[in-house]
Structure 1
């Protein structure tokens, strides 16, 4: 019933970078993008990386990228978007809340 609802989205810029990494960094077949949390209670930080699918995962395909999310982590990432930032001093992936960006804009 909820199979088409994705708790997290990936910006076009982040998707392009993720696909590039998967192709150029020899990410093994069967691996996808893991989106989740580290820590617990008030000290939760969001994380992304490449991993194999686990039994407790919810699996989505976003922009051709297999995305694995542990069912227990879903409530922490609902509504977040993975984006990619590239500036003079830093570059990398970050989580943004598209709803907050709309409120500020």
Structure 2
């Protein structure tokens, strides 16, 4: 186990991991997770996208609208079916499989972690 990383086993048998924040941030970045650790990170997301997400729109829909692209056009551009795009938009952040999110993110020119 890495230095500074601890495992805790709960009474229910769940294994929890405690680690230094810097280590977690490196792992999160490598995994493509989208974490607003401070205001500088939040500034990287356009205000229109942040507001739409805060108002309940899915991240994928917010970015798609910001880029002014229809679901059909995004489907053609990404190779992901329109039905899948509709399902991901309806389900919200982190929905869909990793490959679909990767293709959609590439088509929208955003990090996978943003959707």
TM-score, length-scaled by structure 1: 0.30
Which one scores higher on RCO, CA 8 angstroms, separation ≥ 6? Answer: 1
Structure with larger Rg: 2
Question: Larger helix proportion, structure 1 or 2?
Answer: 2
